[in-house]
Amino acid sequence: MAEIKQTNYDVIVIGAGPGGMTAAMYASRANLSVLMLDRGIYGGNLNNTAEIENYTGFKSIMGPDLAKEMYEGATQFGADYAYGAVEKVEVVGEVKQITTDMGDVFTAKAVVIATGSSQRKLGVPGEAEFSGRGVSYCAVCDGAFFKNKHLIVVGGGDSAVEEGAFLTQLADKVTVLVRRDQLRAQPIVQDKAMQNPKMEFVFNTSVTEIVGDDMKVTGVKTVNNVTGETGELAADGVFIYVGSDPMTAPFKDLGILNAKGWVETDATMATKIPGIFAVGDVRDTLLRQVATAVGDGAIAGQQVFKYLDEQK
Ligand code: NAP
């Protein structure tokens, strides 16, 4: 891990996912002093992603492996990396002051927000109770616990379908419960999954409760959203992929979020506060992909340099 040398930087990048790591690489390669602050291991949502087959340059790569490659690229020009859960960002004159939950204070001339999004909870009884005991939000982390078992995946987007397909490499059978009569996932992702003999789709079905014994999940209670018929489905694990919410709590007082909490930027990744930029999934954007986050990061890294040059 790159060693942290100081508390005052040209640029502090908050969040070390694909967007943040790319912004850090571009800014440090332009000879700026850069700190990436992240509340956990670098990689962001890449760490919850199994196989990626739509990131240019790799026919297929596992999320955590791509995270490692990106981290090595991001730190090769001197960017520092430190653990820190950012609690607040304040603008003090020309300076941006960043405070972590441990009370550490960092200052920078410019900030790049790259905190991404967090997986949404389903919000049904049993979900919190059985979290880590059969309820999971990460196939790549927890799939191996379910070799030759029956799993339920909840959701119908790219994440549900792709992670469900990954789970079929371990489990005997994966049943995907979809609340509407159709999937939201991209057609190519759907087509591949429909041909997977270990994957089954049940449409118009919502989970109303996750049930289990003292130790672990044993199944889910369901309702058919068309007929109203209720039922119960036995399973050894439940993987939840029902979308994501922005991780923007530390920035709520800056006036840069839209009504749904995503950060608003212009095409240069600038927010309406001079010197504060945002990239990747945390932005109010059309497409949330590794490729788009990386593109945003490149633009922001370059624009930060331009902004600081103009301040001289
Ligand atoms: P998403 O696209 O927002 O899909 C969420 C899915 O969960 C939808 O099918 C939604 O149903 C369903 N859902 C929401 N609330 C639910 C509830 N309470 N009960 C049951 N189902 C519920 O989220 P995502 O799949 O996490 O993807 C997030 C973003 O990342 C997307 O832009 C996606 O394209 C992108 N992504 C891309 C790739 C890739 O390109 N390979 C891989 C993963 C993610 P409705 O359809 O009825 O709303």
Q: Which pLDDT belongs to residue 1?
A: 46
> Which residue in 142, 236, 281, 296 is the catalytic one?
142
Using most ligand atoms within 8 A of CB, pick from 58, 158, 226 the residue to mutate for ligand 1.
158
Does the C-beta of 155 come closer than 6 Å to ligand 1?
yes
Of 52, 35, 47, 50, which Cα lies nearest the Cα of 1?
Answer: 35
Mutation to probe ligand 1, out of 289, 292, 294 (largest number of atoms < 8 A from CB)? 289
pLDDT of res. 6: 79
Which regions of the chain are under pLDDT 70?
A: 1-5
Ligand 1 centroid to 155 CA: how many Å?
A: 7
Phi, psi of 302 (to 5 degrees): -70, -40
What residues pair up with 104 in beta bridges, in sequence order?
none
CA-nearest residue, atom 30 of ligand 1: 288
Active-site residue flag, 141: yes
Residue 243 beta carbon below 6 angstroms from any ligand 1 atom: yes
Rounded distance, CA 169 to CA 142, Å? 13
**Closest CA to ligand 1's atom 15:** 242
Q: Which of 10, 38, 80, 138 is catalytic?
A: 138
What CATH topology corresponds to 8-118+244-311? FAD/NAD(P)-binding domain (3.50.50)
Residue 238: name the closest of 310, 128, 134 by CA. 134
Cα–Cα separations (whole angstroms), residue 277 to 9, 237, 263: 15, 40, 9
Taking the domains of the chain in order of start, what are their residue ranges?
Answer: 8-118+244-311, 135-240
pLDDT of res. 50: 86
Q: What is the pLDDT of residue 269?
A: 98
Query: From atom 43 of ligand 1, which residue's Cα is the shortest distance away?
Result: 159
Fold assignment, 135-240 = FAD/NAD(P)-binding domain (3.50.50)
What is residue 48's predicted lDDT score, i.e. its pLDDT? 86
Q: Is 156:182 a contact under the CB 8 Å cutoff?
A: yes
Atom of ligand 1 minimally distant from the CA of 119: 26
- Stated pTM of the model: 0.87
